[in-house]
Amino acid sequence: MKVVLALGSNLGDRFDTLQGALDALFDAPGFGFVAVSPVYETDPVGGPEQGHYLNAVVIAESSLDPRAILERAQSVENAFGRIRMERWGARTLDVDLIMVGDVVSGDPELTLPHPRAHERAFVLVPWSRVDPEATLAGRRVTDLLAGLDQKGVRLRADLTLQRPE
Ligand SMILES: Nc1ncnc2c1ncn2[C@@H]1O[C@H](COP(=O)(O)OP(=O)(O)OP(=O)(O)O)[C@@H](O)[C@H]1O
Ligand SMILES: Nc1nc2c(c(=O)[nH]1)N=C(CO)CN2
pLDDT computed for residue 82 by the predictor: 59
Q: Where are the domains of the chain?
A: 2-155
Gap from CA of 96 to ligand 1 centroid (Å): 6
Closest CA to 164 of 23, 61, 62, 36: 23
pLDDT computed for residue 88 by the predictor: 60
| Ligand 1 pocket member 77 (CB < 6 A) | no
Question: Which protein residues are within 6 Å of ligand 2, measured from CB?
Answer: 8, 42-47, 53, 55, 88, 94, 122
Closest CA to 29 of 93, 80, 79, 72: 72
Question: Which residues form the catalytic set?
Answer: 82, 91, 94, 96
Tell me the one-letter amino acid at 124.
Answer: L
2-155 maps to which CATH number?
3.30.70.560
- State how far the Cα of 28 lies from the Cα of 8, in Å rounded to an integer: 21
Gap from CA of 117 to ligand 1 centroid (Å): 11
Q: How far is CA 101 from CA 94, 112, 134, 139, in A?
A: 21, 10, 12, 14
| Ligand 1 pocket member 106 (CB < 6 A) | no
Q: What is the per-residue pLDDT across 148-159, written as a single tens digit (0 to 9) for each? A: 999 999 999 999
Tell me the one-letter amino acid at 23.
Answer: D
CA angle 16, 22, 23 (to 5 degrees): 90
Interface confidence (ipTM) of the complex: 0.95
Evaluate whether 8 touches 45 at the Cβ level (below 8 Å). no
pTM above 0.90, yes or no: yes
Q: What is the per-residue pLDDT across 23-73, written as a single tens digit (0 to 9) for each? A: 999 998 899 999 999 999 999 999 888 899 999 999 999 999 999 999 999
